[in-house]
Homo-oligomer: A and B are copies of this chain.
Amino acid sequence: MKLKTKKTLSVPGFKAGGVACGIKKNGKPDLALIVSDTAATAAGLFTTNRVVSPTVTVTKQHIQSAKSVRAIVANSGNANACTGTDGDRTCRDMVALTAKQLGVTDKEVLVASTGVIGVKLPLAPVKKGLPQLGGALSPKGWNDAAEAILTTDLVIKTACVESNGITVGGIAKGSGMIHPNMATMLAFLATNANIGKADLKAALKVANEHTFNRINVDGDTSTNDMVVILANGQAGNASIKKGTKAFRDFVEALTAVCKSLAFAIVKDGEGATKFVTVSVKGAKTEKHALTVSRAVADSKLVQTALFGEDPNWGRIIAAVGYAGVPVKPEKIDIAFNGTPLVKNGAPVAGLSVTALHKQMKAKDLRIDIGLGMGKASAETYTCDLSYDYVRINAEYTT
């Protein structure tokens, strides 16, 4: 399949927009809306946190019970989490107001919130902002929507691909609390493909597993995260069924969009100065490879060494050792950006530390770990841990 990457995000039959309604104290955009012109199938994946925002509960319910969906409404600046029954009501009111304005049923509206936890979300700004947002909706309004869902993110995140008349696009927000299994991240995806609910969910699961579920910023997971996709069928293709070539093609397109958004999230991680691929090969099982890769990617000591541009493989091998997977130290290989540092558990002789330091000044770094235990492999993606990560998170609510 030939995948065409589109610079500008737009998906046939969808409109999007974003406005500043006043939830954020700094006057930045904080209310986003994505609407399909016609009925769309929907699928979603949600945080595994046991404490969840009502937005997660409601969106799950609506996807499960509604035959089709028409819109996603989302706010930033407040996560509407841990605010008791008031929070539940605000969430349902936000849905009802959106549904009323669009002339659809409540169940046809999905909802998301992101921001500070435990502070009541005021309904008044949403009420005031929605009509304005309705007027601002446009097929090219995705960038505004992408901006209105940001919290400590620095840049908007959008992606779009097209192939054989089928377009897949989406927006995301990330920053801190990024961890496999849905962290503080939101991703809203849209496609004009004709695909049923179950097949759409199956496709989303595969795409998510190798993209959003492989990234890590700080290992924390949040109460609000979701990846949601709407498919409005306007491409007029025969309904895509699991197990067919059309399904594989669709998964490929969806994966490309998710990967682009996931990488953008890591690159814009709080205080991140490096994008780091942690590749593990030679594992007994893919699960082992993934566990080791995540242990290395999530190590504060590895992340600070990367920030310091220090080829400190000792911390990497220590993380490999505590990952909880059987390894043989004398079989472990480690390379930084293609330069072998460790062979069979011992340092490679004659390395120039100066040359290594120079290599590590690159923005994109790669750690290759060979376990010598089997043939399975996995990759995860992370960033470094910098002064700015501490600054941003020490100052967030205050």
The reply to whether the CB of A385 lies closer than 8 angstroms to some CB of chain B is yes
Contact (Cβ within 8 A) A50 B326: yes
The reply to whether the CB of A398 lies closer than 8 angstroms to some CB of chain B is yes
Residues of chain B with a CB closer than 8 A to A393's CB? 300-301, 304-305, 308
**Which among B119, B305, B346 is the interface contact of A82 at CB below 8 angstroms?**
B346
Which of A18-26, A37-45, A127-135, A314-322 lines the interface with chain B?
A: A314-322
Contact (Cβ within 8 A) A315 B220: yes
Besides A300-B389, A385-B390, 9 more A-B contacts (Cβ < 8 Å) are A50-B320, A51-B329, A87-B346, A116-B312, A118-B342, A220-B319, A308-B395, A308-B396, A390-B390
Range for the number of chain A residues in contact with chain B = 35 or more
Question: Which chain B residue shows the least CB distance to A320?
Answer: B51
Q: Which residues of A come within 8 Å of B, CB atoms? A: 48-52, 79, 81-87, 116-120, 176-177, 218-223, 299-301, 304-305, 307-308, 310, 312-315, 317-322, 325-327, 329-330, 332, 342, 344-347, 357, 385-387, 389-391, 393-398
10 interchain pairs, CB-CB under 8 A: A50-B327, A51-B320, A51-B329, A51-B345, A52-B329, A119-B314, A220-B319, A221-B318, A310-B398, A312-B397
Contact (Cβ within 8 A) B220 A322: yes
The residue among A318, A345, A397 with the most chain B CB atoms within 10 A of its own CB is A318
The residue among A79, A344, A391 with the most chain B CB atoms within 10 A of its own CB is A391
Residues of chain B with a CB closer than 8 A to A345's CB? 51, 82, 84
Q: A116 to nearest B CB, angstroms?
A: 6
Contact (Cβ within 8 A) A51 B318: yes
| A119 to B301 Cα, complex, angstroms | 17
Residues of chain B with a CB closer than 8 A to A51's CB? 317-318, 320-321, 327, 329, 332, 345
Q: A75 to nearest B CB, angstroms?
A: 16
| A318 to B357 Cα, complex, angstroms | 37
Contact (Cβ within 8 A) B342 A305: no
Residues of chain B with a CB closer than 8 A to A301's CB? 176-177, 218, 220, 393
| A175 to B228 Cα, complex, angstroms | 43
**Which among B120, B310, B342, B346 is the interface contact of A397 at CB below 8 angstroms?**
B310
| A87 to B319 Cα, complex, angstroms | 20
The residue among A79, A329, A330 with the most chain B CB atoms within 10 A of its own CB is A329
**Which among B177, B314, B322 is the interface contact of A81 at CB below 8 angstroms?**
B314
Q: A26 to nearest B CB, angstroms?
A: 18
Contact (Cβ within 8 A) B314 A394: no
| A322 to B225 Cα, complex, angstroms | 12
Q: A383 to nearest B CB, angstroms?
A: 12
Q: A88 to nearest B CB, angstroms?
A: 11
The residue among A83, A304, A398 with the most chain B CB atoms within 10 A of its own CB is A304
**Which among B220, B346, B389, B394 is the interface contact of A308 at CB below 8 angstroms?**
B394
Question: Which chain B residue shows the least CB distance to A87?
Answer: B346
Q: A378 to nearest B CB, angstroms?
A: 18
Question: Which chain B residue shows the least CB distance to A176?
Answer: B301
Question: Which chain B residue shows the least CB distance to A395?
Answer: B308
**Which among B83, B219, B315 is the interface contact of A346 at CB below 8 angstroms?**
B83
Residues of chain B with a CB closer than 8 A to A318's CB? 49, 51, 117, 177, 220-223
Contact (Cβ within 8 A) A322 B84: no
**Which among B304, B330, B397 is the interface contact of A390 at CB below 8 angstroms?**
B304
| A119 to B313 Cα, complex, angstroms | 10
| A247 to B162 Cα, complex, angstroms | 73
Residues of chain B with a CB closer than 8 A to A116's CB? 312, 314
